[in-house]
Structure 1
Amino acid sequence: MSTRLSMASLALLRGPGTAGLPPAEPVDFARLVLPASPNAALLAPPGVTSQPHVSLPLLAVSPEAAWAALRMLGEGQRRCWKMAEWPERRQVQWVDRTRLVGFPDLVNGQVVPLVGGSGVFLYSRSLLGYFDFGVNRRRLLAWRARLEEALRAV
Structure 2
Amino acid sequence: MSTPITALLARGAGGLPPATPVDFARLRLPASPNTCLAAPPGAHPEAQISVPPLPVDAATAWPVLRGLGDGMPRVFRYGEWPERRQMQWVARSALMNYPDIVAAELVPGPAGAGLFLYSRSLFGWSDLGVNRKRVESWLAALDAALRRR
Q: Confirm or deny that 1:113 pairs with 2:116.
A: no
Which of 113, 138, 147 lines up with 1:143 in the alignment?
Answer: 138
Q: Confirm or deny that 1:91 pairs with 2:86.
A: yes
Q: Percent identity?
A: 51
Which of 99, 108, 124 lines up with 1:104 in the alignment?
Answer: 99
| DSSP 3-state at the match of 2:56 | coil
| DSSP 3-state at the match of 2:108 | strand
| DSSP 3-state at the match of 1:114 | coil
Moved over 2 A (4+): none
Distance in 2 between the 1:68 and 1:55 partners?
A: 22
Q: Confirm or deny that 1:34 pairs with 2:29.
A: yes
| DSSP 3-state at the match of 1:117 | coil
Counterpart residue number, 1:25: 20
Distance in 2 between the 1:11 and 1:118 partners?
A: 37
Distance in 2 between the 1:42 and 1:141 partners?
A: 10
Preserved contact between residue 9 and residue 97 of structure 2 (Cα < 8 Å): no
Counterpart residue number, 1:75: 70
Distance in 2 between the 1:53 and 1:69 partners?
A: 23
Of 11-20 and 94-103, deviating more is 11-20
Preserved contact between residue 39 and residue 47 of structure 2 (Cα < 8 Å): no
| DSSP 3-state at the match of 1:109 | strand
Unaligned residue ranges in structure 2 (runs of 5+): none
Q: Which residue type is aligned with residue 142 of structure 1?
A: S
Distance in 1 between the 2:51 and 2:129 partners?
A: 18
Alpha-carbon RMSD across the aligned residues, in angstroms, is 1.2
Counterpart residue number, 1:3: none
Residues paired across the two proteins, number: 148
Which of 130, 133, 148 lines up with 2:128 in the alignment?
Answer: 133
Greater Rg by CA: 1
TM-score by length of 1: 0.92
Distance in 1 between the 2:80 and 2:50 partners?
A: 23
| DSSP 3-state at the match of 2:113 | strand
Which of 119, 126, 129 lines up with 1:124 in the alignment?
Answer: 119
CA positional deviation for 1:62:
1.4
